[in-house]
Amino acid sequence: MDGGIDDALALILALRSPELEVAGITAVSGNVPVEQATVNGLRIVELLDRSDVWVARGLGNPLFRDPIRATAFHGSDGLGDSNLPLPKLSPSRKPALNAILETLASSKRKSTTIICTGPLTNIAALLTEFPDAEGMVEEIVIMGGAYFVTEYGFGNETPVAEFNVYSDPEAAKIVFEAGVPIKAVGLDATMNPRVQLTKSDYSWLRNRKGWVSAFASSILKNNIKTYGRFALHDPMAVAVKIRPSFFQFANYHAQVETKGEYTLGMTVADRRDWLPDDKLAGRPVMVCTSADPKFKQFFLRRLTAA
Ligand code: RIB
Ligand code: CA
């Protein structure tokens, strides 16, 4: 997670969902610097009284590039400039990659899913430094990419690239080319207005009782006021593992552009209806093509459950 508003909402959803056993959280450089992302992860864990879940500080920069930020959208604190109190909890003393590896190793069966809601820097570094980790992960679900498979599937950071992939395209390339099955929730699904929060959803949320509703509405306030809508990018990636029936996927061979002048960070999905025998096609990726609008009500109910 890279410490933004939708990362926070995604963490709340994950930690409030009995269907998931959340072992730990790693922060990564992205929307905000990794130090801020770590603080924001700790804020959520503390808010939900889940100190059983470790939060580790991950890599502070993309593998080979300078970081880019999204503080104009998420606020300088990553949480809509809501200036919430600092957490009392401290991050794990373990380096993030070791924390992930220990969790993978302690899992009885190869049943661990890694859900990525920020740049893929930590996971690329894990797979590079600890190649055995690849065989210990059942699936990687990413919020990332824009695959041009729906009318919403174009870029947000550039005309063709989505922020998480564009932030560290080399890391994304490593993850896409590794052997772990990938489900990719990209802008093709998350930018559909039918699954975005509206002003009336925000009003409903703000009128709910409870500190989680109060927290969620405080971090959403500025964006709803400015844009009138809010895309639930990261919560959708988490919801894939909670209510898979809400989501449709299609299998595309896809790969990440790491050299293009205008296409850097583009996730190139091969939509040809034959399988070329050259390696240009990339590896198979399950790309999310749509989300049922019922997801939004499910998310709001789970977020505000007493
Ligand atoms: O492009 C949207 C993604 O980039 C989301 O994960 C958001 O939090 C930012 O990280
Ligand atoms: Ca994010």
Q: φ, ψ for residue 62 (rounded to 5)?
A: -55, 165
**Ligand 1: which of 1, 5, 6 to mutate, judged by most atoms within 8 Å of the beta carbon?**
6
Q: Is 253 a catalytic residue?
A: no
* pLDDT over 70 at 279, yes or no: no
Share of the chain above pLDDT 90, in %: 93
Span from the CA of 166 to the centroid of ligand 1 (angstroms): 10
Q: What is the predicted pLDDT for the residue at 6?
A: 98
Write down the pTM of the prediction: 0.97
Ligand 1 — pocket residues by CB below 6 A?
Answer: 2, 4, 6-7, 30-31, 70, 117-118, 143, 156, 162-164, 233-234
Local confidence band at 107 (pLDDT 50, 70, 90 cut-offs)? confident
Q: What is the predicted pLDDT for the residue at 108?
A: 73
* Closest ligand 1 atom, residue 5 Cα: 8
Span from the CA of 282 to the centroid of ligand 2 (angstroms): 25
Q: φ, ψ for residue 267 (rounded to 5)?
A: -95, 110
Q: Which ligand is nearest to the CA of 143?
A: 1
Q: What is the predicted pLDDT for the residue at 276?
A: 65
Q: Which residue, 84, 16, 7, is CA-closest to 25?
A: 7
* Closest ligand 1 atom, residue 231 Cα: 2
* pLDDT over 90 at 273, yes or no: no
* pLDDT over 80 at 110, yes or no: no
Residue with tokens 């709001």: 300
Q: What is the predicted pLDDT for the residue at 130?
A: 97
* Closest ligand 1 atom, residue 190 Cα: 2
Span 16-36, mean pLDDT? 97
CATH of domain 5-303: 3.90.245.10
Q: Exposure string (b/e) for 180-218, b if CB count within 10 Å is 16 or more?
A: bebbbbbbbbbbbeebbbeeebbeebeebeeebbebbbb
Q: List, for residues 250-269, the tens digit of each pLDDT value.
A: 999 999 999 999 999 999 99
* pLDDT over 90 at 278, yes or no: no
Indicate the SS3 state at residue 95: coil
Q: List, for residues 227-240, the tens digit of each pLDDT value.
A: 999 999 999 999 99
Q: How far apart are CA 168 and CA 274, in angstroms?
A: 30
Q: φ, ψ for residue 119 (rounded to 5)?
A: -55, 155
Q: List, for residues 129-153, the tens digit of each pLDDT value.
A: 999 999 999 999 999 999 999 999 9
Q: What is the predicted pLDDT for the residue at 261?
A: 97
Share of the chain above pLDDT 70, in %: 98
Mean pLDDT (the chain, rounded): 96
Residue with tokens 């409903």: 204
Q: At 280, list the tokens.
A: 């240009």
